Amino acid sequence: MAPSEPDPETEPQPDPEKARRTSDGLLWGCAGLTVLVGLFQLSGILASSEPFGAAAWLGVVVGMLCLLAMIAAYVLCALNRVHLRTRVLGRLDVFQVTTVLMVIAIAAGVLVPTRSTTTLALLLPWGLSYWLNNLERTT
């Protein structure tokens, strides 16, 4: 007995508008998670009783600048001003730039005493954007 063919009338049809809204929602989530990481880092730094040296303050400033740039990139993508595959710096696209920013932010977080693990939380929004970047590529 041969398996029956699926009925095209009963199969769910892809909805591009729903897919776009879902992608936008996930990009807003990436921006929100990145904001939360920044707030957790900042509150930990302000609540710290340790005096920071020059390297630690350099790490704080570089890390926060990277976080702000990542937030801006995710918000612009969520607003559909740019896409993750939009070329922005030569051959680098938005996703690749956010990857570089994430690596720099994590490296800068290592310079800040007791705050090095907080920056690892950036892997979650980056992972979502990685998934969206590859999802867009296949559709």
92 - beta bridge partners?
89
pLDDT tens for each residue of 21-67: 888 899 999 999 999 988 988 888 788 777 778 888 888 899 899 99
pLDDT at 2 over 60: no
Mean pLDDT of the region 69-83:
93
112: how many CB neighbours lie within 10 A of its CB? 24
129 - beta bridge partners?
none
- The SS3 assignment for 4 reads coil
| CB-based burial label for 129 (10 Å; 0-12, 13-18, 19+) | buried
pLDDT tens for each residue of 84-132: 888 988 899 999 999 999 999 988 888 777 656 677 888 888 888 888 8
pTM: 0.81
Q: Where are the domains of the chain?
A: 21-138
pLDDT tens for each residue of 62-74: 989 999 999 999 9
- 120 vs 110: CA distance, rounded Å: 10
User: With contact defined as beta carbons under 8 Å apart, do 70 and 33 qualify?
Assistant: no
**What spatial distance separates the first Cα and last Cα of the chain, rounded to whole Å?**
34
pLDDT at position 7 = 61
User: With contact defined as beta carbons under 8 Å apart, do 126 and 98 qualify?
Assistant: yes
pLDDT at position 29 = 92
